[in-house]
Amino acid sequence: MFYVYVLLSLRDKNFYIGSTSDLKRRLTEHKSGQVISTKHRLPLRLICCEMYIYKKEALFREKYLKSSDGHKDLRKRLTVSLNV
Contact 43, 34 (CB under 8 A): no
Q: What is the mean pLDDT of the chain?
A: 93
Q: CATH code at 78?
A: 3.40.1440
pLDDT, residue 51, reads 98
Which candidate, 10, 13, 16, places its Cα nearest to that of 30? 16
The total number of structural domains that make up the chain: 1
**pTM, to two decimals:** 0.92
Residue type, 36: I
> Which domain, by its residues, includes 16?
2-83
What is the mean predicted confidence (pLDDT) over 21-40? 95
